[in-house]
Amino acid sequence: MNDFSNNHAAEEQPLSIAAQLAQEVDTTLLEIDAAEHELNSAFFNLESWVNIYLGQGTAELHDLHGREHLAIRDENRNAIIPGRHVEIDGRTYFLSIKGCGANEDMFFGESLTVEKLASACHDPVLLDRVLGLHEPTGFIMSENWMGESPFGAQGASNAKEGIDMSRLANGLHINGAYICPIIGIVPLAGPIEDAARKFYWFRQFPESFYQEMRLVPSRTRLYFESTQVIADPETALSQFNVNTPKKAEQFELNFIRSGLALLSLFSRTIKYQDRALAGVVYQDVWFDKDAIVAPDGVIHFADIEGLGWMQVDESKWGIIQKKEWNKLAYEFLYSLVQVDTYRHYVENTATTWAKQRDSLSFFIQMAIDKDPYLRVKLIDGTLYALVESPVIIDADPVQIPILQDVPS
């Protein structure tokens, strides 16, 4: 059990998430107009945001000038612009740029330096310019990152697959499973990509270079790849102003509802395709770092390019749904324990794990009470998730255990 020692400054006026993020800026992005772009039409009102955003290193290398934005580094190649935000469905979403330049050295660790950039430069003309850089971080290179993207930017296939997957959403969610939607993608064709191809250690990325513009509700992940994580609920939930029993309860209900919706994404997306069933599955992605939590507790899946379609025989859909659920269940349940423990702390209710399990079972049942794809049932002391799909007629629901030894 976690031993929280939180000292909430209840008398202070809580800052909005936008104000908090504005206090955390640690870099600058340069925005320049894109010659071309591909827009997600669901966000046509944000088309003016779909441009090229460059980190300081690449912007200085090319001596570019444009609109400057204070930003927050997020993972190695991404940044959030707190000043660009929009209200949707009662939440604030911020513009996040995926692929605006790397901050870390890929093979030698720590931040990029002029010396390390110079060692990766394969063009004598560019070398002189590199040696004169004042700020080398935020640099786009062509080193092949896992066959998926150039180091510091995004690969063409990932960008296009990501925006196609975002178009499945009804704005922010796919049948109740929330995502961080890509509002547009931009190719980096021309001098920026040409110069970036001169920088690599071992091998060059062969595809075109892109950037993604997406919307995120915060920078808080579950427990990896951010300085703010749900695994540290005392800090994360305090910043979300979750400081009363009522707020903690609502946060947890939203957390459970959205998390279980993401675990059942396959069944929520099933359709008939080429005389077979097809549904969306998680590929090489994980909840611990690839999901972002909103201040109200709703989990949003962020790395959309990690989703893909899988065709299955109708008789196999239950097997695939169970695999998809179990693949990511631990990532969700680990963080849920932190959230639930924090709720007990805010309520000032000392509890044993046995009592906490009973309470958690009740919260799970409350959270998905109106979910059309998911319900729960207590069978012989085990709380099961029953996952259904309206596409598959007269099929038994997929039965997946969530919590065992639950009292009737």
Kindly report, residue by residue over 313-343, the tens digit of the pLDDT: 988 999 999 999 999 999 999 999 999 999 9
Kindly report, residue by residue over 30-84, the tens digit of the pLDDT: 999 999 999 999 999 999 999 999 999 999 999 999 899 999 999 899 999 999 9
Q: For 337-351, what is the mean pLDDT?
A: 89
- Residues 214 and 53: their CA atoms lie apart, in Å, by 12
- Residues 319 and 369: their CA atoms lie apart, in Å, by 24
State pTM to two decimals: 0.94
Give ∠ CA 150-154-134 in degrees, rounded to 5.
65
Q: Mean pLDDT score of the chain, rounded to an integer?
A: 92
Q: For 246-273, what is the mean pLDDT?
A: 96
Q: For 196-200, what is the mean pLDDT?
A: 97
Kindly report, residue by residue over 103-112, the tens digit of the pLDDT: 999 888 889 9
Closest by Cα among 203, 150, 181 to 307: 181
Of the listed ranges 43-47, 232-236, 380-384, the one predicted with least confidence: 232-236
CA atoms within 13 A on the CB side of 223: 13
Q: For 77-96, what is the mean pLDDT?
A: 96
221-242 in b/e burial notation, b at 16+ Cβ within 10 A?
Answer: bbbebbebbbbbbbebbbbbbb
Is the CB of residue 174 less than 8 Å from the CB of residue 265? yes
Residue ranges of domains in the chain: 17-216, 233-403
pLDDT surpasses 80 at 90: yes
pLDDT band (50, 70, 90) for residue 139:
very high
Q: For 211-224, what is the mean pLDDT?
A: 94
